[in-house]
Amino acid sequence: MAAHQEKKLAEERRTVQNDTKASQGQWGRAWEVDWFSLASILFLLMFAPLIVYYFIMSCDQYQCSLTDPLLDLLTGNKHLSDIWNRTPMLTYRAAAIYCLWVTFQVVLYVSIPDFCHKFLPGYVGGVQEGAVTPAGVVNKYEINGLQAWIITHVLWFANASCFHFFSPPIIFDTWIPLLWCANILGYAVSTFAMIKGYFFPTNAKDCKFTGNFFYDYMMGIEFNPRIGKWFDFKLFFNGRPGIVAWTLINLSFAAKQQELYGEVTNSMILVNVLQGIYVLDFFWNEAWYLKTIDICHDHFGWYLGWGDCVWLPYLYTLQGLYLVYHPVQLCTAHAAGVLVLGLLGYYIFRMTNHQKDLFRRTNGNCSIWGKKPEYIECSYTSVDGTKYYSKLMTSGFWGWARHFNYTGDLMGSLAYCLACGFEHILPYFYIIYMTILLTHRCIRDEHRCSSKYGKDWERYTAAVPYRLLPGIF
């Protein structure tokens, strides 16, 4: 039996070698641009900025009702110009705040080497290596996001309690003027990344040109664009200014509630705490983040550049914004339910990611749920023809479904929305969006893994047949 299996495995390996030769250089790059992808990209390029504007404007002018602006327009009660004329414009003050903010984050990123790993047990910071790129490059990163987050928040609290240089609700008070600044940066950085990809790429072999301008602009040309040795576009724009800002934005919304109503509701506290845990987790695990799809597989274009500057800070914080306009005080059972769902979702999200990280770091020599993990051996070939070996785990949460980390993430996302009660659809945008994002990501990742691992991936999907929910999907 064992000999038979060995023979079968050897045959499969030979097939894999042929398959990977055929698909050599395909994974992580040179996707074909089909009509559906092109149509989705054009849709997003045209409508994503409008969607963000619509959400923020409907809170500003319509108490977060998503239907009232449309009804006003359709019934002729208001014209587009009426809505636009009531929209706050870009101000020098907002531009100054935004420039100061981004400059401060750049300084924290490039000029203060990580010191947190020297005194925080278990924290991995300082210089770390990323994954092998399709061209076979291994980039080094200065991991100091936790430190940047701590310094920024200490200064924020110091200002709120002692210095009073600015009022804590400042972000809420300049929210729409800041939106224009974020858009300017988002478009500037994406356009710069495109030009850089053509004329002075950091690593020419890791560039992707599909020949379609819109696709290249959206999905990016360069894999890991950098300025100098350390300023990595993906790591910087993904984590800061967007994710460092996330918790500050929520704090500013809580401060606005306090200013307007003389109290902070339990729903606002829940949103701040649950999203705060998620953000802190991100920075605590920033080194792990180097191995996620954003850094390992996505090229840097408008999707990441504009997305990190505008989409993330404006739409991931909708719950807090909503609660400023609709302060919701939850009954104890509802609040406890939200807390349990949020913490359980976070636990599943973290543990699933942790299991894969541990498994990969130790090359399978670890214990998952008290046992040695089971896995499928696989191989792939980089663009220079070098063959690499890897393993796909089929134990722990990874034996339940192929993306159980996304399931945990979705549970946590649902908890943020449920904290806002059931009066309006706007705070539920996040769970709708995350479901679409993570389902699409599943499909995108599996397409990539399938071209990377060929037959080995088929063996893996046969062993773990479900994507998100065991027995269902």
Q: Which of 310, 392, 414, 417 binds ligand NDP (CB under 6 A)?
A: 392
Q: State the number of binding residues for ligand NDP (CB under 6 A).
A: 19
467 touches ligand NDP by CB under 6 A? no
303 binds ligand NDP (CB under 6 A): no
Report the residue number, 253 or 460, with the smaller CB distance to ligand NDP.
460
Buried b (16+ CB within 10 A) or exposed e, 424-437: bebbbbbbebbeee
Residue 443 binds ligand NDP (CB under 6 A): no
Asked if 390 and 376 count as a contact pair (C-beta separation under 8 A), the reply is no
Single out the residue of 249, 449, 451, 467 in contact with ligand NDP (rule: CB under 6 A).
449
| Whole-angstrom distance, CA of residue 447 vs CA of residue 31 | 10
Give the other-Cβ count within 10 Å of 184's Cβ.
Answer: 15
Residue 165 beta carbon to ligand NDP: minimum distance, rounded to whole angstroms: 32
In the complex, least distance from residue 415 CB atom to ligand NDP, rounded to whole angstroms? 13
Candidate residues 403, 424, 459, 467; the one interacting with ligand NDP per rule CB under 6 A: 403
Stretch that binds ligand NDP, among 10-18, 54-62, 144-152, 398-406 (CB under 6 A): 398-406
Whether the CB-CB separation of 221 and 299 falls below 8 Å is answered with yes
Candidate ranges 217-225, 242-250, 262-270, 402-410; the one touching ligand NDP (CB under 6 A): 402-410
287 touches ligand NDP (CB under 6 A): no
State the Cα–Cα distance between residues 44 and 40, nearest whole angstrom.
6
User: Which of the ranges 33-41, 47-55, 404-412, 421-429 carries the binding residues for ligand NDP, by CB under 6 A?
Assistant: 404-412
Amino acid identity at 358: L
List the structure tokens of 282: 């991100």
How many CA atoms are closer than 13 Å to the CA of 57, on its beta-carbon side?
Answer: 20
- Of the two residues 67 and 386, which places its CB atom closer to ligand NDP in the complex? 386
390 binds ligand NDP (CB under 6 A): yes
Q: For ligand NDP, which residue has the nearest CB?
A: 292
CB of 304 to ligand NDP, least distance (A): 11
Q: What gap in Å lies between CA 408 and CA 352, rounded to an integer?
A: 8
The smaller minimum CB distance to ligand NDP, of residues 196 and 452, is found at 452
Q: Which tokens go with 24?
A: 């050599």
Least gap, CB of 452 to ligand NDP (angstroms): 6
Q: Is 292 in the site for ligand NDP (CB under 6 A)?
A: yes
> How far, in whole angstroms, is CA 386 from its chain's centroid?
31
Question: Should residue 405 be labelled a site residue for ligand NDP when binding is judged by CB under 6 A?
Answer: yes
* C-beta of residue 57 within 8 angstroms of C-beta of residue 49: no
Q: Is 293 in the site for ligand NDP (CB under 6 A)?
A: yes
Burial class from Cβ neighbours inside 10 Å (0-12, 13-18, 19+) for residue 210 reads middle
Residue 371 pairs with which residues in a beta bridge?
A: 368
DSSP-derived secondary structure letter, 205: G
Of these, 146, 409, 419, 431, which contacts ligand NDP (CB under 6 A)? Answer: 409
Q: Which two tokens stand for residue 281?
A: 């987790």
- Judged by beta carbon, residue 205 or residue 360, the one nearer ligand NDP is 360
CA distance 373 to 365: 8
Site membership for ligand NDP, residue 175 (CB under 6 A): no
Taking the C-alpha atoms of residue 313 and residue 249, their distance in angstroms, rounded to an integer, is: 8
377 binds ligand NDP (CB under 6 A): no
Positions of E strands within 133-224: 138-143
DSSP H helical segments within 63-91, as ranges? 68-74, 80-85
**Site membership for ligand NDP, residue 406 (CB under 6 A):** yes
Cα–Cα distances (Å) from 29 to 34, 235, 297, in that order, read: 14, 19, 8
Query: Of the ranges 16-24, 64-72, 175-183, 387-395, which one interacts with ligand NDP (CB under 6 A)?
Result: 387-395
Please report, as residue ranges, which positions from 334 to 363 form the binding site for ligand NDP (by CB under 6 A): 349, 353, 356, 359-360
Does 226 bind ligand NDP (CB under 6 A)? Our answer is: no
Question: Does position 271 bind ligand NDP by CB under 6 A?
Answer: no
**CA-wise closest residue to 446 among 471, 462, 467:** 467
Q: Is 398 in the site for ligand NDP (CB under 6 A)?
A: yes
**26 or 191: whose CB is closer to ligand NDP?**
26
> Of 419, 127, 381, whose CA–CA distance to 273 is shortest?
419
Residues 6+ apart with CB under 8 A from 470: 400, 401
Question: Which of 148, 393, 414, 420 is in the footprint of ligand NDP by CB under 6 A?
Answer: 393
Task: With residue 377 as reference, give the H or E element that holds it.
Answer: strand 375-381
Residue closer to ligand NDP, measured from CB, 183 or 238: 238
With respect to ligand NDP, which residue has the nearer C-beta, 270 or 393?
A: 393
Residues binding ligand NDP (CB under 6 A)? 292-293, 349, 353, 356, 359-360, 390, 392-393, 398, 403, 405-406, 409, 441, 445, 449, 452
